[in-house]
Chain A
Amino acid sequence: MKSAVIVFPGINRERDMARALRLASGQQPAMVWHAETSLPKGTDLVVVPGGFSYGDYLRCGAIAARAPVMDAVRDFAGDGGLVLGVCNGFQILCEAGLLPGALMRNAQLKFVCRDVHLRVERSDSPFTRGYNAGQVIRVPIAHGEGNYEADDDTLKRLEGEGRVLYRYCSKEGVVDAPSNINGAAHSIAGIVNERGNVLGMMPHPENHVEDIMGCTDGRGLFAGLAAHLERAA
């Protein structure tokens, strides 16, 4: 797995992400600065990590989405390359038009930093093959604007095409209003694009990958990606 982590000014989760990728694959990811116009040769996974790119000015992710490196990321995704965006990375991918919809202010207007439960909706995606369909995992969230919104047609398409991969749920796996931590439409925590090669998610699986973190439920995502790319190679 030759991964590249994109670094924007104001991003702060890039090292956590790099560590999780290295643990899963044994390979050190390349750190790619936002002003670059190309990705390292042979890259097979691009990760847009979390943080506060450009101080969240204008709209979360809006300025980063227009940085020079994003043209390379767009081309890479267009060629079918795997792209993962977490938290601010999800916001950036939506702003860049790589994923539909937008992430609005949390319904309760508060920044929320805590563990949540997610239901893995399917296991036949490169981003979920490390899990079983219906499995409940515990991962942290830390965001103020993670309330996923899209128009009704888009939501209908996302659901109809099985593009919601992760959904907020209770500990028992029930998707209900109290477990919908930020008020997201359909309790959406993570979606893929039409082709299934670009995932955006608000929670931070990279922060639950080692025993010292108190939970390793996030490992499956990275292990699944590593297994997928190993098989493809």
Chain B
Amino acid sequence: MKARVTVTLKTGILDPQGKAIEGALKSLGVDGVASVRQGKVFDIELSGSDKAKAEATLKAAADKLLANTVIENYRVEVLS
């Protein structure tokens, strides 16, 4: 099974990288960008075919390692 974990910064956490990207987009002339916040995407291959079990595994992975829940939120998706 293919799965994806998306990790983003919590609202209110300062994101200097996002700000720099936002500035770069503006200086490139990409119009209409109001703000940018950056994050991480993990594409994960899972063995087995139980979707509920897969989601539990992904949640455990995110809580234990992939995200720092002090500053980050995460979302898990089983893709196929």
* A102 with B71: CB separation less than 8 A: yes
Alpha-carbon distance A95/B20, docked complex (angstroms): 25
- Minimum CB distance partner of A150 in chain B: B70
Q: Tell me if B71 and A104 are in contact (CB < 8 A).
A: yes
Q: How far is the CB of A186 from chain B (nearest CB, A)?
A: 13
Task: Say whether, besides A104-B16, A105-B16, A109-B16, A66 and B70 are in contact (CB < 8 Å).
Answer: no
In whole angstroms, what is the CA distance A149 to B68 when docked? 13
Alpha-carbon distance between A106 and B64 when the two chains are bound, in angstroms: 25
In the bound complex, what is the Cα–Cα distance between A94 and B72 (angstroms)? Answer: 14
- Check B70 against A183 for contact (C-beta < 8 Å): no
Q: Is the CB of B17 within 8 A of A105?
A: yes
* Interface pair B71/A149, CB less than 8 Å apart: yes
CA distance A147 to B14 in the complex (A): 10
How does the 8 Å CB contact mask read for B1-43 relative to A, with 1 for contact and 0 for none? 0000000000011101100100000000000000000000000
Of all chain A residues, which has the CB nearest B18? A105
Please tell me if the beta carbons of B71 and A95 are within 8 angstroms of each other in the complex: no
A137-158 interface bits toward B, Cβ cutoff 8 Å, 1 = contact, 0 = none: 0000000000101110000000
Is the CB–CB distance between B65 and A62 below 8 Å? yes
Is the Cβ of B16 less than 8 Å from the Cβ of A107?
Answer: yes
A186 to B49, CA, bound (A): 49
Chain A residue numbers with a CB within 8 Å of B66 are: 58
Chain B neighbourhood of A66, CB < 8 A: 64-65
7 tightest Cβ-Cβ pairs between the two chains A and B: A102-B71, A102-B70, A105-B16, A109-B16, A107-B16, A109-B20, A105-B17
List 9 A-B pairs, Cβ < 8 Å: A66-B65, A100-B70, A102-B70, A102-B71, A105-B16, A108-B16, A109-B17, A147-B16, A151-B12
